[in-house]
Amino acid sequence: MKISVCGKGGSGKSVLTSLLANQAIARGLSVLVVDSDESNSGLFKMLGFEKPPVPLMELIGGKKKLKEKMRNPNILAQNHLSIKDISSEHIVKKNGLMLVSIGKILHALEGCACPMGVLNREFLKKLRLYNNEIAFIDMEAGVEHFGRGIDEGIDKVLLVVEPSFESITVAEKIKEIASGMDKPVVAVLNKIGSEEIAHELESKLKIKDIETIGLIPNDLFVFEACFKGQSIGNKEAFDAAGKVLDNLLKE
Ligand SMILES: Nc1ncnc2c1ncn2[C@@H]1O[C@H](COP(=O)(O)OP(=O)(O)O)[C@@H](O)[C@H]1O
Ligand SMILES: [Mg+2]
């Protein structure tokens, strides 16, 4: 199963991706995390890696070369890819947890992120997983990735929704677009400070036909780990993510 983790910037996509990845590892699954956010680069730290993998973008010669190849849809030579096909410099591994990165915008005037979008789309479409493997795609913020077709190859959209008007608006938009693509959409509430907030947020989503499958509390330890660039691993948030994973795997 390939699950894309989507939502407003700052809603907690990377935090949730990290928690779910660790939960899946604890269940003996082999977990691939795909860093698809070209703007933020701290995911490897949240996952407890010492260094990030070399972005796949470099595999095909960086953005300039890819631009030339964009007219040809077969940018990755094989029709199907499995995790073992990814060469060692482009994947970091630790105890069954694996991370690949599509690419990062590092310099001024690099132009738009479209070439990375093409690579991302092709990679996710071609990626084949075995039964004991699961992939979480830590998506770029907002809805643009849908416009770029990146979500074509994924099986399920996991919305991260924090208690803010903006976050709900982005969630509604994503639901609308993803449903149009026949992709199932479920939501996880994040940064939840009280039961009242949880209920209110859940019912706002329900009105839009968005099912909530779990919540992660607003947690000072999570906040601190993010602040210090450390791995996200405290028990309360981890346990909460366990329930989310149960529901994800059940459906
Ligand atoms: N459950 C949580 N409890 C407390 N703070 C959180 C929680 N989830 C996220 N945060 C805060 O929100 C910030 C953004 O989270 P992050 O996962 O990086 O968002 P995104 O990947 O969606 O941009 C974190 O740096 C952290 O300060
Ligand atoms: Mg992020």
Question: Ligand 1 — pocket residues by CB below 6 A?
Answer: 7, 9-15, 141, 190-191, 216, 218-219, 222-223, 226, 237
Taking the CA of residue 192 as reference, the ligand 1 atom at the shortest distance is 1
> What is the Cα Rg of the chain in Å?
17
Ligand in closest contact with the CA of 237: 1
Nearest CA, atom 17, ligand 1: 12
| Residue 71 confidence (pLDDT) above 60 | no
Q: Which of 226, 234, 235 should be mutated for ligand 1, with most atoms under 8 A from CB? A: 226
Cα 138 to ligand 2 centroid, rounded to whole Å = 7
Nearest CA, atom 14, ligand 1: 10
- DSSP character at residue 73: S
Q: Which of 15, 137, 192 should be mutated for ligand 1, with most atoms under 8 A from CB? A: 15
Among 90-94, 95-99, 139-143, 241-245, the range scoring the smallest mean pLDDT is 139-143
Looking up tokens 């039961």 gives 195
Q: In the structure encoding, which two tokens stand for residue 245, read together?
A: 């994973």
What pLDDT is stored for residue 215 in this prediction?
A: 97
Distances (CA, A) of 38 to 15, 59, 106, 117, 141: 16, 16, 9, 9, 10
Domain count, the chain: 1
Percent of the chain with pLDDT over 90: 65
| Residue 62 confidence (pLDDT) above 70 | no
What pLDDT is stored for residue 101 in this prediction?
A: 93
Residue 174 CB partners (closer than 8 Å, separation 6+) = 6, 7, 143, 146, 157, 159, 185
What pLDDT is stored for residue 122 in this prediction?
A: 87
* pLDDT one-digit tens code per residue, 110-136: 666 677 888 888 899 999 999 999 999
Q: Which is more confident, 60 or 3?
A: 3
Cα 240 to ligand 1 centroid, rounded to whole Å = 15
Among 166-170, 215-219, 231-235, the range scoring the smallest mean pLDDT is 231-235
Looking up tokens 């060469």 gives 87
What range does the domain containing 239 cover? 2-250
* pLDDT one-digit tens code per residue, 74-91: 446 778 889 988 888 889
CATH number of the structural domain spanning residue 215:
3.40.50.300
Among 38-42, 75-79, 93-97, 170-174, the range scoring the smallest mean pLDDT is 75-79
Q: Model-level pTM? A: 0.92
Residue 108: band (very low, low, confident or very high) from pLDDT cuts 50, 70, 90: low
The gap between the terminal CA atoms of the chain, to the nearest Å, is 11
Q: Is the dihedral of CA 239, 141, 57, 77 positive or negative?
A: positive
